[in-house]
Amino acid sequence: MPTAKKVKPPRLPVLQEDNLNPDQRKLLDSLREGPRGKGVEIRGPFAVILHAPAYGQIAQELGAHVRFSKLVPHRLTELAILVTASLWRSQYEWHMHAIHAAKAGISDKIINDIRLGRAPKRLSKDERAIYDFVKELHKTKRVSDKNYARVHKIVGDAGMVEFVGICGYYVLVAMTLNVFRMPPPAGEPWPFKE
């Protein structure tokens, strides 16, 4: 884990809630009124998108929709997010979604294997389908008929559209967090070497 001396600071200042302009306040209120709940803090991707609230509103609405999709089981959504966070070595995204994945029923062993870049050995059939799909999509920029059919069997036509949206949205989040160097919450370990 990197030490504070080796880690470069975020590229954007973290805005203080008391100093938000009206558009930024509206975005923060929208985040808290949505499915993420009143506990939303100004950190991670939200600390970035508050700097561009018109864009941030659109992005957070898409994120809320795909993350809390009723078409893709929550456990599988969190697994897909973890695979994406690992591939992008996205510190904050990994930190937060490792917690969510554990609460959704993904074992600590599977979570740790993914963080270390190892293919987990004890995935259920539906988890294996999600894992293989996301890995193949990132590696080849395409998905085989076999892997498509395996996930389609789980989520159907509309679910496939939303599942690909989940994959794409969390690449957007990983890129945002990485470019703007958003660290895990203060005092938390860094999951990946910088």
Residue 62: count other Cβ atoms within 10 Å of its Cβ. Answer: 14
Q: Given this model, what pLDDT does residue 73 score?
A: 97
Question: In this predicted model, what pLDDT tens digit does every residue of 123-171 receive, in sequence order?
Answer: 999 999 999 999 999 999 999 999 999 999 999 999 999 999 999 999 9
Distance CA 87, CA 181 (A): 16
Q: Given this model, what pLDDT does residue 3 score?
A: 45
Distance CA 147, CA 47 (A): 36
User: Tokens representing 2?
Assistant: 């990197």
Who's near 52: CB < 8 A, 6+ residues apart? none
Question: In this predicted model, what pLDDT tens digit does every residue of 63-87 receive, in sequence order?
Answer: 999 999 899 999 999 999 999 999 9
Lowest-confidence segment of 21-25, 43-47, 183-187 by average pLDDT: 183-187
pLDDT at 58 over 70: yes
pLDDT at 46 over 50: yes
Q: Given this model, what pLDDT does residue 6 score?
A: 74
Q: Given this model, what pLDDT does residue 194 score?
A: 87
Distance CA 6, CA 77 (A): 33
Residue 82: count other Cβ atoms within 10 Å of its Cβ. Answer: 26
- Please report, for the chain, the start and end positions of each structural domain, with discontinuous segments joined by +: 17-67, 74-175
Three-class SS state of 73: coil
pLDDT at 102 over 50: yes
Who's near 45: CB < 8 A, 6+ residues apart? 63, 92, 93, 173, 176, 177, 182
**Range 74-175 classified under CATH 1.10.10.60:** no
pLDDT at 110 over 90: yes
C-beta separation of 15 from 42 below 8 A: yes
Q: Given this model, what pLDDT does residue 1 score?
A: 45
Distance CA 138, CA 51 (A): 29
> pTM for this one?
0.94
Closest CA to 93 of 101, 82, 108, 103: 82
Q: Given this model, what pLDDT does residue 4 score?
A: 46
**In the chain, what percentage of residues exceed pLDDT 90?**
94
| Amino acid at site 21 | N
| Amino acid at site 42 | I
* pLDDT, averaged across the chain: 95
